[in-house]
Structure 1
Amino acid sequence: MRDEKPSGIFKALNLFSKAGPRFDEAWSTLSFIGCTRWRWDETNDHKWYEVDGHGRYSGIAPDWGKFYELIGHDPIRDAVPWETIRADTANSRHFLYYFRDETLEFMAEEWSFIPSPTV
């Protein structure tokens, strides 16, 4: 495999603006509409910040711990195994969500964030 980096850009997606002012006090649901594939791996904050960058997007994505959409050419997207639901569509988009202890990735047409009114 060539050591090629994505030429696309990472767009930070703001969950908080969709949640409203009481986000920190509520459970919420993050959904991926038209999801074609997903993956969950153990890229955590330690792997992200290692000098040799064990995470695929270490040193490329702007910040750790954020929700991103990768837009544009990404030659390393398929360098790892995915759980496939069906073939990607022309409208499939690449979403990444970095948690403290793992990373979730989705290929989906859209995302939705709905805060729950109760804890």
Structure 2
Amino acid sequence: LDTDVTFATDIAELWKLFSKLQEKQSIGLVENQSDWYLGKLWKKHRPWPALGRGYNTGVILLELKRLRELGWGQLWRLIAEKDLMTHYTTSLADQDIFNAIIKQHPYLVYNLP
């Protein structure tokens, strides 16, 4: 959770969403509400790869056991290193990395309500 996230209900409601993850779904995220990843905010805007609007990592569920079984350590590094060769840096830190991974492996994500 980002440090600016507050809850108006019991956090256990978020925890219950783990039970909704299907087979290989390992990452629960909310779809991004901005146009950042669409790449049309200004003329030379070059965001990292993402599916559509991408995902916001302010609230994230990680099924760690499943991620380890899928070789997460190597998976994220390979994708990050490849994209850093053309983008040189991230604009949105971990969010850019997660979105690049999901672009290549969409089966990993569960859309949080």
User: Is the TM-score greater than 0.5?
Assistant: no
Give the structure with the higher percent strand: 1
- Higher RCO structure (Cα 8 Å, ≥6 apart): 1
TM-score range, shorter chain: under 0.3
Instruction: Give the structure-1-normalised TM-score.
Output: 0.27
